[in-house]
Every structure is written in structure tokens, then in C-alpha cells.
Amino acid sequence: MAEAAKKPRKKTQKKKKTKKNAAAFEPRHDMRDPDPWQALLLDNSSFIDEKAKAALMRNNGTRARQFLFPVVRPLARLSIVLVQLLRIILPNSLTSSKMLHRLICWGMRNFVSRDANYLILRHFHIGSQILAFLNKNAADGALPSHPLLPRVIDDLKDDFFLQHDLNLYNFVISLNEYLRENGGDIQTKSLKQIDFSMIRDPDADIDLDSLPQKWSNVLDLQTAVELYTPLFGVFLSDSDFWRASNSLQLDETVAVYVAKLLGEGMILTFVNNKHPMVPLSTMEAGFRLMLHGLDAENLHGFIRHIRLHGLPGKT
């Protein structure tokens, strides 16, 4: 009788446990109308910083991105075609980097959303940190550098966008000249040999309270980028605009350098903005600029992940 009494008790406990586990996996969203941006926000298959990803997903969900962007993009691309035709006749005339940067900053202060401005400022810090990381660990810190670390929007007036492109090309040239004189290639190092000190959260170096949030600050990042791209063609010389456009394809090159240094090629799955040896049309510069920002976030996040957790599958 004692054994018989135990059976229903055991069966009841099993039912309770099954019910509890089922409740733990019950969806919290409407499965008939899932939010695509929530899905990407919750997804953890990339290395993008959570704050940056949240800002980007909020941008993607705005009405400006939904309704204004489809109108702006074809007009912006048509403008680029017209500008390129103008540059055939006047390749280096009527240019002014100073005017370009002042217009960009004015637009950021008055029309670009807080999240988009945050991502733009953050991008300069991330790019500078990645180049400093490679300079220190692949070239013993011997390469010339020009770090771009803006705290507020007006800091960008000092030719930051143009200098960002120059930094990328100068780094690739200087690093490979250094390597040819000192061994020929980047040497893989153990994590104990690598200096991660320059890889940190950029938010500590950005004055977040200064970012405007007026009623007019409604433009999402991608719409703002499409609007700004023709201005680069107008106010930069022909060679500067082509260099700026083609620099967006250097992400994969920089990621290869990081992969060689760490001895881990996983990051090349996430950084794939087409190889610069086959340059793409300047008409696609706005879209590739968005990919460039995404690639930089992934690469920076990957290095931070390795710093905190080590290489995958290794102790």
C-alpha cells in the first residue's frame, strides 16, 4: 500500500514540473504580428554593442525611415549622378571641406535624431580605437596616427569626415610599409601578449547630454546619410570624393589584419563590405556607409568580446 501511495504523488510532481517548464518558454510577443526590429534587437548572433544596436533598431522603426527614406534615396542618387557630371567639367573647383563640415554639423544639430547623432559620434571613436589597437599590436605603436575622438557634434567641424577617410588609407599604407621592412606580415600573438587597453566603451568619451532632442530632430540615420552623400560630391574635390567612397570598402581589409593578429577568422563572417580592389559605384555610397558603420561596430565588439571571454573554443 505504501508503494501504491507513492505513484500518484510522483505523477503529480512530474506534471507540475512539465507545466512550469512550458510556462517559462511561453512567447511574450504577438506571434501573428512579430516586430522585426525586436527580433533583431534580441538576436545575439553578432558582436554589436547592445546600446548601439538598440539605437539603430529605434532608428529603423521610425516613421522617417519608413516613409521619408524611400523618397530621399532615389533623389539623392540622382543628385550624385548630376554632381559627377559636374565634376567632369570642374574636377576641383567650387570645393570647400570647411563648408561641408559646417553644413553637416548644422543638419545634425537641427534635423538628425538623437540616436543617429549618437551612432555618428560613436563611429569615430570606434574607428580610432581599432586603428590604435592594430598600431600597437601589429606595429609596436610605430605608425603615425591622427585619432578622432569627438565629444560633441561641433567637434566634427574640424574636417573629421575627410580625416576619417585619410586615416584609413594612411594606416593601410603605413602598416604595410612597416611590415615589409620588419618581417613581411602580421604575426599572430597570444592573448597575453596583446594590449587591449585602447579598446573601451566610447560612451565615456561622448557628451551624451549635449545631443539635441528638439521637435525637429526626426531624421533617422540612413535617411540622413543619403541626404549628406551628395554634399560630399559637391564640396569635395573629385579625388577626395572617390577616395571617401572607396574607403568604405576597406572594412574587410582591416578585419583581415585583426584576424591575423588574433589567429581567429570568425570576424570575417560579420565584416563583409566587398573588397576595395573592385570599387563599387559612388551612387551606392550611402548604403555602403551604413554597412561601414555596422562592420566597424561588429569588429570593435569582436575585439571587446575576445578581451573579456578569450578566443572561441580556447581557454
Number of domains in the chain: 1
The reply to whether 256 falls in a domain is no
From the number of C-beta atoms within 10 Å of its C-beta (0-12, 13-18, 19+), residue 311 rates as: middle
Q: Which residues of 150-178 are buried (b: 16+ CB within 10 A; e: fewer)?
A: bebbebbeeebbbbbbebbebbbebbeeb
The reply to whether 231 falls in a domain is yes
The reply to whether 47 falls in a domain is no
How far is 212 from 291, CA to CA, in rounded Å? 25
Q: Domain range spanning residue 146?
A: 57-241
pLDDT confidence band for 249 (50 / 70 / 90): confident
CB atoms within 10 A of CB 204: 8
pLDDT confidence band for 37 (50 / 70 / 90): confident
Residues 6+ apart with CB under 8 A from 253: 172, 275, 276
- The SS3 of residue 165 is helix
The reply to whether 30 falls in a domain is no
How far is 47 from 57, CA to CA, in rounded Å? 15
pLDDT at position 24 is: 64
The reply to whether 137 falls in a domain is yes
Question: What pTM, to 2 d.p., does this model score?
Answer: 0.87
> Mind listing the pLDDT tens digit for each residue in 191-200?
999 999 999 9
> Mind listing the pLDDT tens digit for each residue in 54-68?
999 999 999 999 999
The reply to whether 17 falls in a domain is no
The reply to whether 100 falls in a domain is yes
Query: What average pLDDT does this structure show over 173-184?
Result: 92
The reply to whether 259 falls in a domain is no
> Mind listing the pLDDT tens digit for each residue in 75-133?
999 998 898 888 888 777 778 999 999 999 999 999 999 999 999 999 999 999 999 99
Residue 235: pLDDT above 60?
yes
